[in-house]
Amino acid sequence: MIHKVIENLYYAKSDEWLKVEGAIGTIGISDYAQDQLGDIVYVEKIEKGKKIKQGEPLTTIESVKAVSDVYAPVSGEIIEVNEKLSDDASLINKDPYGAGWIAKIKIDHPEELKNLMSAQEYSEYRKE
């Protein structure tokens, strides 16, 4: 199966994506990750204002198959959470790069983006 990978996003080896707009990053999980999880039924609530470091667990996603951690692709402060996921966690399955976004973070250290992969690199990484 071909998984959708969107250009102009950053990707972590743990399958999160990050869309950067100025100092704000939108975080979600990749099409590959949602496919591996299967039907997503629950996303643990994230505290707004929470400070998090790159690589730390941000939240937990539960699917019919498994429980999986979502890690912060960069360090910063959580400034917005996708409230729609509390009512309909399956948005992540339906639209992982759009309506299924998880949180927005105010990026503390833009240089941490160097630790992430481009769409091209992520596609290659997932092919292996």
Contact in structure between 18 and 10 (CB atoms under 8 Å): yes
Q: Fill in the amino acid letter for 17.
A: W
**Cα dist. 21→7, 18, 36 in Å?**
14, 10, 28
**Cα dist. 60→18, 73, 105, 128 in Å?**
17, 14, 17, 26
Average the pLDDT over 78-107 and give the result.
98
- Count up the domains in the chain and report the number: 1
Q: What is the CATH number of the domain that holds 83?
A: 2.40.50.100
| Distance in angstroms (rounded) separating the CA atoms of residues 3 and 31 | 6
On the CB side of 109, how many CA atoms lie within 13 Å of its CA? 13
What are 98's strand-pairing partners?
Answer: none
Question: CA 38: distance to chain centroid?
Answer: 16
**Domain assignment of residue 127, yes or no:** no
**Domain assignment of residue 5, yes or no:** no
**Domain assignment of residue 80, yes or no:** yes
What is the pLDDT confidence band of residue 3, given thresholds at 50, 70 and 90? very high
Average model confidence (pLDDT) for the chain? 97
Which domain covers residue 112, as residue numbers? 10-116
Residue 2 has pLDDT above 90, yes or no: no
**Domain assignment of residue 19, yes or no:** yes
pLDDT in tens, 98-120: 999 999 999 999 999 999 999 99
Name the one residue in this structure whose structure tokens are 């400034």.
79
Give residue 1's pLDDT: 66
Give just the sign of the alpha carbon dihedral 12, 10, 80, 95. negative
Average the pLDDT over 20-27 and give the result.
98
Average the pLDDT over 33-48 and give the result.
97
What is the pLDDT confidence band of residue 128, given thresholds at 50, 70 and 90? confident
